Structure 1
């Protein structure tokens, strides 16, 4: 069963090339309204968006994220942060050091961001998440003057697409959707999916690859470890208990 909203969600792709057309004030207001309409655990509303309009700051963030040029090219670049500092200002004695606050903040922020993405798609805009900000998370924190209990999770490029990439095939439903209890991996389905991914990469016009999906899991997980993150979280007041 399909409708317009489901069709938008299912055809979303990451956009890494943008037209120069600026978003209107009304579009930006609509995106923020959609973001704020996301569910929030206990209605704590523990997420904050920082819109980056300073070109020098944008250039620094692009560099911190691994010199990703589309951060500079996109008309809009927003940084999404888990934020309990607002609550700390209201009630400085509340305990915020436990792991649950980190989970709640990350979940609230991710829901807000995905609402933004879906709303942007509905307006004919494209987006791409930028998790690379966490490569230099302390520098990002300093640049954005983030106080204690604020965590910059990722950036988001927003703008009119200047490319039309194919959508990456997703894992078979049977590998991610179970009933009543967890299921061991079906290796036959996984092998079929790896073949599908190899075909996708082979026919893709840019950044062609020869591997499937599971071939690169170990490499990607090791590459994305960011061993400094735990110490950073402790410095920002997160999960110290």
Structure 2
């Protein structure tokens, strides 16, 4: 097993960072690593906004659901779907926005941007962890995208998708066991529900044991229980309207 794979397999979310900023060299290498990720048809439909200003990080922490580590870390990155750059590219080629509206608002191009941003972020995360730093993804930014967008001054056709805390680890958390490989990896065809259910029952026992140990017996959540609760409490249903307002009605 090489060092890259060791770094990947040792991943865990870090939510407690030392009050030490990343160097400009570290930031540059993390962003360059993000840019080295695969991108559909060379579109590169994402942008990264780095946040250093303490007051702005504090406000983003509040908007993300009062997550303190959004404010206290070495550097905070916001990964955005960015189709505005494509609009500008077309404009430079003498093409009016009305001529490309159908493409800019397509579900396909939106999907390309989301995938591109996710691939870039994961490259950035692995780069940071290879430097001995910790990371934590922040989906909570989508709790208040109108406010986040206003704070970051993102124009139409740009959507802040998630944040990424990066910094020097203060408290290294335990590693959460993922779903068994057999529940994720299918060969030739998708597994039956019966087979999947067997794997989920086994996984439930592992996750309950994890929470029992981590909380000193205060929690024993099952994975299927957590997912069922998530599905019965729909979140962020305003997103469709937000995308429409950002001129991304998704046709």
Q: TM-score, normalised by structure 2?
A: 0.92
User: Aligned equivalents of 2:85 and 2:216: distance in 1?
Assistant: 43
Q: Which residue of structure 1 aligns with residue 32 of structure 2?
A: 33
Contact 1:128 1:157 in 2 (8 A): yes
The alignment of Structure 1 onto Structure 2 pairs a total of residues equal to 240
Which is further off, 51-60 or 107-116?
51-60
Which one of the candidate residues 114, 130, 136 is aligned to 2:144? 136
Contact 2:16 2:170 in 1 (8 A): yes
Q: Which residue of structure 2 aligns with residue 46 of structure 1?
A: 45
Contact 1:102 1:239 in 2 (8 A): no
User: Aligned equivalents of 1:48 and 1:59: distance in 2?
Assistant: 21
Q: Which residue of structure 2 aligns with residue 150 of structure 1?
A: 158
Q: Which residue of structure 2 aligns with residue 201 of structure 1?
A: 211
Q: Which residue of structure 1 aligns with residue 93 of structure 2?
A: none
Written as runs of structure 1 = structure 2, the 5 A alignment for 1:210-229 is 210-223=220-233, 225-229=235-239
Q: Which residue of structure 2 aligns with residue 178 of structure 1?
A: 186
User: Aligned equivalents of 2:88 and 2:218: distance in 1?
Assistant: 49
User: Aligned equivalents of 1:174 and 1:64: distance in 2?
Assistant: 37
Instruction: Say if 1:208 and 1:137 are closer, same or farther in 2 by CA, change over 3 A.
Output: farther
User: Aligned equivalents of 2:234 and 2:75: distance in 1?
Assistant: 26
Q: TM-score, normalised by structure 1?
A: 0.95
Q: Which residue of structure 1 aligns with residue 94 of structure 2?
A: none
Q: Which residue of structure 1 aligns with residue 108 of structure 2?
A: 100
Q: Note the residue ranges of structure 2 that are not aligned, 5 or more in a row.
A: 91-96
Task: Give the drift of 1:188.
Answer: 2.4
- Give the root-mean-square deviation of aligned CA atoms: 1.5
Q: Note the residue ranges of structure 1 that are not aligned, 5 or more in a row.
A: none
User: Aligned equivalents of 1:164 and 1:206: distance in 2?
Assistant: 18
Q: Which has the higher helix share?
A: 2
Deviations 1:159-186 (A, max 9, x none): 0111121110111111110111111232
Task: Give the drift of 1:21.
Answer: 2.0
User: Aligned equivalents of 2:207 and 2:141: distance in 1?
Assistant: 27
Runs of 4+ in 1 over 4 A off after TM superposition: 205-208
